Amino acid sequence: GAVVSQHPSWVICKSGTSVKIECRSLDFQATTMFWYRQFPKQSLMLMATSNEGSKATYEQGVEKDKFLINHASLTLSTLTVTSAHPEDSSFYICSATGGGTEAFFGQGTRLTVV
């Protein structure tokens, strides 16, 4: 299947700093990318949907000014957690689709804010 690479796989940052997570589709053009968040021992919750070249659509309750999403090209989307706080510590996973029947997931990024 298609490959989606997410980087970094884990990151520790200080409270108040910003962290950028990259999601790349390596062998296909991803017209749509999704960002999910997974709390410990819970399911994945969709945060936002991004289409190449347009603004992301955020799910209800997700702060767009805190979780900045950019989808500037057909192979790259970024999620920036601004002014991170300990409650933002979580596992973030992206997925990408080129329009087939399935979305392909990255490896995930474990963010720890101290």
Partner 1 sequence: GDSVTQMEGPVTLSEEAFLTINCTYTATGYPSLFWYVQYPGEGLQLLLKATKADDKGSNKGFEATYRKETTSFHLEKGSVQVSDSAVYFCALGGGYQKVTFGTGTKLQVIP
The residues of the shown chain that bind partner 1, judged by CB under 8 A, are 1, 6, 31-32, 34, 42-44, 46, 49, 93, 95, 97, 99-108, 110
- Minimum distance of partner 1 from residue 3's CB (angstroms): 12
- Minimum distance of partner 1 from residue 63's CB (angstroms): 19
- Minimum distance of partner 1 from residue 17's CB (angstroms): 24
Q: What is the rounded CA–CA span in Å between residue 21 and residue 29? A: 19
Q: By the 8 A CB rule, do 48 and 59 touch?
A: yes
Q: How buried is 77 (Cβ within 10 angstroms: 0-12 exposed, 13-18 middle, 19+ buried)?
A: buried
Choice between 42 and 73, CB closer to partner 1: 42
Choice between 43 and 65, CB closer to partner 1: 43
Choice between 3 and 72, CB closer to partner 1: 3
Distances (CA, A) of 99 to 32, 33, 89: 8, 11, 31
